Amino acid sequence: MLSRFMSGSVRNLEREYNCTVRLLDDTEYTCTIQRDAKGQYLFDLICHHLNLLEKDYFGIRYVDPDKQRHWLEFTKSIAKQLKSQPPFTMCLRVKFYPPDPASLKEEITRYLVFLQLKRDLYHGRLLCKTSDAAMLAAYILQAEIGDYDPGKHPEGYSSKFQFFPKHSEKLERRIAEIHKTELIGQTPETSERNFLQKAQMLETYGVDPHPCKDVSGNPAFLAFTPFGFVVLQGNRRVHFLKWNEVTKLKFEGKTFHVYANQKEDKKIILTYFAPTPEACKHLWKCGVENQAFYKLEKSSQVRTVSSSNLFFKGSRFRYSGRVAKEVMEQSAKIKREPPEIHRAGLVPSRSCPSITHGPRLSSVPRTRRRAVHISIMEGLESLRDSAHSTPVRSVSHG
């Protein structure tokens, strides 16, 4: 009898997994899920925890044992998608960047997008001119420590924080100057909204770079934004195709093709080579989802797409969520009291220290760099592996 009870208890435990999701403020949400739980169940738990209604812009990201990133598919079992052994660890991230983030209905949504863009800036995905970089960093300072106070903020206070992968002392001084003189009186909400408006105007807004090589073997980064398909090389955008110009996305092994029609019936085929077939399939799926989300008028227009290839025969995929237009229409119907936002309780990130109030300001040391003038727009090639969708490996055209 006892052995039967113990056997049943073990079976029950095997049906449950511990799951940790790292949120955008670097806090962690931990829960227990059933073996057959689908992605939507976990996503709904997180959104309920965050009191988030405008949730269609967000997704759950995980990394497989080969360091390849994936977006969790909400219609499929979590356990079957993750190749690693439990406990599972994932991250909540912005998946579809709002075309106009400052006009999102709820402040909680704007705040989460602000946190994502702050990460993008720090990791080098959000590229910009030095003047724009100084303004963005000053907005972050104002949002998180408030008005400049000489009693709390000693000389060189802006150098205590790392807003970008690397920057100069000259830029640090400019950040402090803007914070001291131009942003006095701005509330956190106003500063975050101003940050969003500024970030939205940058060419790399919404870029989640996929490293590839072009037909000549030159490194390139492919990305999908609210406005279309982008190819970046160095610090330049070399191709931009609006979503209504893109007619087909296709992959074959490690080869990715983009078909487009531009004005005067000009047909274009762009070809790039991903590091692995798995990376190419991930790139293709991201493209299919982004095109459906931003291009279509309603989700009923979504169709299953396929891409014939050698490594993933019969690969078929269908975007399963609402499209941008439907999301905005639904947001307009929200009529609740705005949820409270706890900004001051941010936990310092392992990679990017959050700015906190009070004495902790001077307790975040940062190694002093030699005074050099570095453009924030120096390109994506310097990104660490953790800052883009695919581990960088040698890419052959085979």
What is the per-residue pLDDT across 258-308, written as a single tens digit (0 to 9) for each?
999 988 778 999 999 999 999 999 999 999 999 999 999 887 787 877 776
- The secondary element (H helix, E strand) that includes residue 19 is strand 16-22
113 and 131 belong to one structural domain? yes
Domain membership flag for residue 234: yes
Dihedral sign for Cα atoms in the order 338, 343, 347, 350: positive
Sequence-distant (6+) residues with CB within 8 A of 184 are 147, 148
Sequence-distant (6+) residues with CB within 8 A of 292 are 302, 319, 323
- For residues 40, 46, 50, 56, the Cα torsion angle rounded to the nearest 10 degrees is -30
285 and 182 belong to one structural domain? no
219 and 316 belong to one structural domain? yes
272 to 167, 217, 268, 279, 393: CA distances (angstroms): 32, 9, 13, 12, 15
Q: Which of 134, 132, 131, 193 is nearest to 158 (CA)?
A: 134
Domain membership flag for residue 389: no
Domain membership flag for residue 343: no
Cα angle 12, 64, 354 (rounded to 5 degrees) comes to 95
User: What's 226's domain CATH number?
Assistant: 2.30.29.30
Domain membership flag for residue 4: no
What is the per-residue pLDDT across 349-398, written as a single tens digit (0 to 9) for each?
333 334 333 333 322 333 333 333 334 555 666 666 656 666 544 443 34
Q: Which of 94, 118, 147 is the last residue of a domain?
A: 94
Alpha-carbon gap, residue 28 to 100, rounded angstroms: 28
User: What's 108's domain CATH number?
Assistant: 1.20.80.10
Domain that holds residue 141: 101-203+365-384
Tell me the one-letter amino acid at 354.
Answer: S
**Quick one: tokens of 55?**
């949730």
pLDDT tens-digit profile, the chain (398 residues):
555 544 444 445 468 999 999 999 999 999 999 989 999 999 999 999 999 999 999 999 999 988 999 999 999 999 999 977 888 999 999 999 999 998 899 999 999 999 999 999 999 999 999 999 999 999 999 999 999 999 999 988 998 888 999 888 999 999 999 999 999 999 999 999 999 999 999 999 999 999 999 999 999 999 999 999 999 998 899 999 999 999 999 999 999 999 999 887 789 999 999 999 999 999 999 999 999 999 998 877 878 777 765 555 557 777 878 999 999 999 999 999 999 898 853 333 333 334 333 333 322 333 333 333 334 555 666 666 656 666 544 443 34
Domain membership flag for residue 349: no
195 and 123 belong to one structural domain? yes
Count of domains forming the chain:
3
Domain membership flag for residue 58: yes
What is the per-residue pLDDT across 45-56, written as a single tens digit (0 to 9) for each?
999 999 999 999
Across the chain, what does the average pLDDT equal? Answer: 84
**Quick one: tokens of 52?**
């988030």
**Quick one: tokens of 248?**
């087909």
Q: Could you tell me which residues are beta bridge partners of residue 104?
A: none
Determine contact, residues 139/351, Cβ cutoff 8 Å.
Answer: no
Domain membership flag for residue 9: no
181 and 231 belong to one structural domain? no
Q: Which residue has the tokens 């079957």?
A: 80
